[in-house]
Every structure is written in C-alpha cells, then in structure tokens.
Structure 1
Amino acid sequence: MQREHVVIDLTHPLVPNGVPACLGHPSYNAELTFKLADGDFANVHTLTLGSHTGTHIDAPYHFFLDGCTVDNLDLRLLAAAPAVVVDLRLKKAHEPIRWEDLEKHAHRMRRGVAVLLCTGWSRRFGQQGYSDHPFLELEAARRILDAGVRVIGADTLSPDEFTEEGDTGQVHRLVLGSGGVIVENLNNLGQVLDKGWEDVRVSVLPLRLSGVDGSPVRAVVWNERPVAATSIND
C-alpha cells in the first residue's frame, strides 16, 4: 500500500504594503539592496516587518515580562503536532465562539494537540472589516487549556474580540499566561475541512529570534493516508 502525502499551506503570502497590521505595528516591505541586474554578485533583499507580521506566532513574552520568548518555545508542540480543525464558518462578525461550538471535539483535545479555529475569515485578509472577525470566548479558551492544549490557532487577526478600543487581550493573557502560544492569521483551513481530513499534523515553526515576543511562521498541515497502488495501465 502506497501513501499519499498532501500538504496544505496555511500561510498568507507577504506582499509589500499588502499585509494588514495592528495599529502601530510596522508594515511589511521587501526591497532589493543588491541586484544582479545592476551587476552585483547576487540578489539580496532588505526586509522590514514586525514580530506579528502575517501568519505568526505569539510567545508568552508578548504579554508577560517573565514569559518565554520565541527562541525558547517547546518545538515538540509546534512541529508535526496532531491538530483538531474546528469548523466555525457559520459564525458572523463579532460573534462569540463558545465552548458549545467546540465541545464535540473535546475527546481529541490533550497536551501536544493544536486546536485550529476555522472561521473562514481568512478570505478577508487585507480587506476592510478583517478585524470584525468572530472571537473566542474566555470560558471556551479556559476549557481548551483545561484539556491540556497549549497551541491555539485561528484564521483571524486575533482570538480576542476587536472593539473600537482595539484588541481586548483577555484570551491572550489567559493562553500566554498558561504557557501556551497563539497562532494568528492562518489561511486555507477551510481546505482541510473540505477534504474531510481528521487525522492531520501541523507545523508552525518560528524563526529563532533571541529574546523576541513573536515571529512570522510558515504554517503547513498535512494528512498521510494509504491509497491503493495504481497499475501501469491506470
């Protein structure tokens, strides 16, 4: 029996001046500093970005002075971790995600598992209203943590609600204060659901940035399943 190895990229592309950022965060830009076309030895870019640019991970230090920085995160939780992808695509703007929405997946939640919230909001990435996304209720986040989960991801700007005053930060404080991490601005989670995948693995690996509170990631998910071998005549 052969195995089919299919990978779905959960990462938004970084396009200069086309990546949404929280108020006050640096915008993303990539500029050619050395150019082959100008006779330089090689092409080399200068990158300008923040620690929370695009699809990224928040380490506990993002909210806590004594919290773990991104270079010291437990990679066992971030590399090839079992993942639970929850279908929340019927949620509307500013609608809470309650424990009742997640409870049917509770038997799969445990330490080492990543919980990924698919609201479908990734299709609005870079558009007006992206920050009006559904949000994770504090009690729901607490129940996820009580199950042992320490990696929570979402296809939204934040798991917290955005108001006129900005991100409330309640879920951030709870998750990061429990030694967990948050992955934001995920993409293409709906593809995982549409394929009917359940036994999936996810990797969300940050750059090894010493003493830093977060990092862009290349997030990918995959499912290895047996497929019947095809004959030469198929």
Structure 2
Amino acid sequence: MNLNPGYLPVLVALSVPVSADVFQFTGSAQTLDGKALYEEQHRIQGACDNGIFRPLEHRVTYVRQAEEGEETFAEKELDYSQSDIRPTVNYQQPNFQESLKISYAGSEAVNVVWQPPSGDIERSNVDISDNLVVDAGFDNLVRQNWNKVVSGNPVNFHFLVPTRGTDYAFILESVQSYAVNADYVVQIRPDNFVLKFLVDPIVLGYNNQGALTAYSGLTNVRENADQNYTATIRYVISTYPECELTP
C-alpha cells in the first residue's frame, strides 16, 4: 500500500501522544569554599512523548546581587528540536563582550562561532558522531542512560569543547564525592591519559526522579578575561513536568 507523504505527520501525531509541558529549576553557584557567586534560572519548554519528557527550548538567565538589586549579567538559549544531546546554543555575557553560538550544517558538522573577551572572532567546524554531546546536552545524556547510571555502568561519549574547536572522548561513571550529596552521583572525566591530568572531572548529582540537583566543576560563566568560574551549583526544582524525566 502506498501512503501519501502528506498524511504521515498526521499518522505520527495520532500514534504518538504528545503534550506540551514545562520543567523549571534554579541553581545557586558558590565557590568551592562557600562564597556566593551567582544564580541560574532555568526554564525548559518541552513535550511529554509517550510519558517521557523531551526538552525543546531551554532558556537560562544568569543573575547576581548588585547595589541596585538583582541584575542579569548573562543569558543562554538552547534549542533541542533536532537532538536531545546536541542543542543549538546562543550564549551572551556582555560584561566581557563574550558570545558563543553553536549551530549545525545538517547532520554532518557542528558550526562554532566564538567571540572571546579579547581578540578576533574564532570559527570552527567539528564533524558530528553519533555520541557527540554539546553543552547542556550532557543532562539529557544522563537521563537517556538512566538504567546504566543507577546500576553503576559507565557511558562513553564525545564532548564538544567549542573554545578549542574540537571534541574529546569522555566517560560518564558513578563516583563517590565529598562535594556533592545526592541520590545518584556521577562524574564526567576525560578518557585520555594526557588530558585527564589537565582537565578536572565534573561531578553531578541527581535525585530519584532524574533531576539534576548538584554540579561541581568548571562552569561556562566567565570569572575574568582569562578563566571561567569553578563552582559548586545546587539546584532546586520549582516545576516538574507532568510526565517522567527518565525512561
């Protein structure tokens, strides 16, 4: 039987129940010795697809206390419509004249346009592999592999490092940590003998529902013209989606 392609979207919509939903949470960032740095306000609009939440649009507002009250100093927008682990990214931190844009040339390559605090705009292209993860896509990678996470099995993937214009092999694995207290604690570390001495692991905490509750490591927020903050961020969820976060 031949089907008119024009009917396919209707058939898919009828066979796969989808409803709009929202996931909201706030992160409080501190230095490793407990000094308050800034706050992240996250709002993710998504869809409940067969009972599982799928992110679509993610907005992050970075705020801190100033003499006049709360001020926004950076913003980030992500779009997951093409991939849960490879969103498009538009990050702006005007106080350092820094911006980062990540987009895609079809399914073949990642396009990176980075304006560093000083110097010229840097452009790069990175080939896409099936296990390439971009920016906050790591959070969805954890949930996609939730059964491995809760059973303590490692997950291998590649992570885009946009300021280097390349990607590196990493491992997601269970770990015990004094910095993070959560139902499940995992770390992301380089899967490279040389790189692991240069890059500290990032430690993540998740609750039983699959929500990120803690992050400890290098952030994407610039501290000064030479480096980003290294911080511990603790998250409080204000709105869960009506469907489940994990399979």
Task: From the two aligned structures, give the one with the greater strand fraction.
Answer: 2
TM, length-normalised to structure 1? 0.28
Larger helix share, 1 or 2: 1
For CA contacts below 8 A with separation 6 or more, give which structure has more relative contact order. 1
Relative to the length of structure 2, the TM-score reads 0.27
